[in-house]
Structure 1
């Protein structure tokens, strides 16, 4: 009996000693996560919890609402900075449910794939569900569109601003919403920007290779060109240059030097001429000056520059 009581006490102490889960842990992220990573994790969970996916499931609806609160903090740079500094959550209900949220979401991560997100996004964008969520978030954010985009599922300010403006303007004209100063300022800025040609297009993944792969391709092509050039150059040397040129003797060198000095001092000295062979290869132009004037150089074979 005493042993069982002691065991229960130990279990209670162990639970109390466990650190409180953070909002980042609720999303399965580190504190250093980027906004893109935060949104991606949020989408994965929202995909499973969205009311349209769980009709009549009150627990899923409640968790979805709590998830909205999590993203409203971590998705807002100012609120996130305050949370990172203080660890405080300006929502008593959410603060008490962080631990439960963490445990609840842990069972859902492995069920969601990239294909699931892409399929959900394709069906969600432009749907009535998106319109309803947009209207509700507008009310919650009081027309602050910067905060709205932080919480709005599958949204992209560059693609959706004009589309969202049309939806909200229609709701305002119908009396469903009230135009706030923040919204009017944002709407004016959006009106001055050219709208995208295909606002409902799915955001295509980048097909660009990583920089390291690009560098490898460039290096490979450079080596191929170098090998081709070396082969071409060797062929030219064997064809036009003959064998290795013998070094001139001292007598030949002195004779050549005297002739050069004599040529410089003479006003009527003939200018040495050479034949030029230009070879274009792989975008590079190579000029080989073949100087055959043995009267000037004193050499019996052509001299290559």
Structure 2
């Protein structure tokens, strides 16, 4: 079966751009980012055992699509003919895990820390906060789970941003936000503290420190727990740090837990 037929089988379209959920005007950077995002969702190592077979096939197809759209000559030919060469149909049989690793560099603790410094206080954070507020109808539990690095130490600042957005009429004043019980906030803080302790205990159990490999080992142990929560951070880091080494599947909350645990340990 050719690549286009496989696209239709697994993604219900023969249009390579539609498979990656982008337009024909997408830049090379946007093509790479879209491929990274979708391939993470179907990566065989990140799905349940019962879904591995289909995920593997989808992963191969996405690799084949990216191989064409990332090559200027092949992309031009496809744009003109909406067909792929017979030789390109063979690409679905390549080792796409190796191909993927060549495209995306390993994300280290230092990368996450650098990204956090850039993200906090940025327009991106403000927009993410606004989206999470509307989706959760003002529920701070939902917001801190969705917004990157939204730890308790940032809550007052984040609430200030939301109040400003309410005052400007950009978002409604949901009662869940304006009248949140103090007990609910305290439960949220207690949960964060428990997660920090769990992260520290896991590091000790695995015998790892706080170096660039420690996060990777932790994720390998807990990568199924909150797989969906990692996408936003991964996309942003891929766009900023995408390079030529081995990638690391990571997730926002685990990264946040690791750093929180490290900070708590330093304070002691």
The answer, yes or no, to whether TM exceeds 0.5 is no
Instruction: Give the TM-score band, short-chain normalised.
Output: 0.3 to 0.5
Give the number of the structure with larger relative contact order, counting CA–CA contacts within 8 Å between residues 6 or more apart: 2
Higher strand share: 1
